[in-house]
Amino acid sequence: MSKHHLQSESMNALEQSLNDHMEICRLQRKAKRLKAENARLKAEVESLKEAWVDKKMQEDRDYLLQQVERLRKAGDAMERSLSFAYPDSPKIKDWNAAKEGKGQP
């Protein structure tokens, strides 16, 4: 092999090494950006999950409050109906005490 041919092969190898190094650096920068994006997305998912849980809990709370109110009204209507027939019934007194948080019907 000639000296010129050896120099040309060395230059080609050096150029390939430089290209490989540049590609590695490019991929490392891309990996760093993707890791940052992944961390940002994970934080956003956590935030959205918390907001969803809060919203769902509020919806459940509202529904349960509506059910309690519906049942209270039904109990009051029953108490009014029974109070005519059984005005001295202890169950009527128990119901009114329970509504005030002083006992259970």
Q: What pLDDT is stored for residue 46 in this prediction?
A: 96
Residue 105 has pLDDT above 60, yes or no: no
Query: What contacts 75, CB < 8 A, 6 or more positions away?
Result: 95, 99, 105
| CA pair distance 9, 16, nearest whole angstrom | 10
The domain total for the chain is 1
Query: Can you give the residue range of the structural domain that contains 92?
Result: 3-99
* 43-86 per-position pLDDT tens digit: 999 999 999 999 999 999 999 999 999 999 998 998 888 888 88
Q: Which two tokens stand for residue 30?
A: 């891309």
pLDDT class of 1 with cuts at 50, 70, 90: low
Residue 104 located in a structural domain: no
The predicted model scores a pTM of 0.56
* 28-43 per-position pLDDT tens digit: 999 999 999 999 999 9
Residue 72 located in a structural domain: yes
Residue 105 located in a structural domain: no
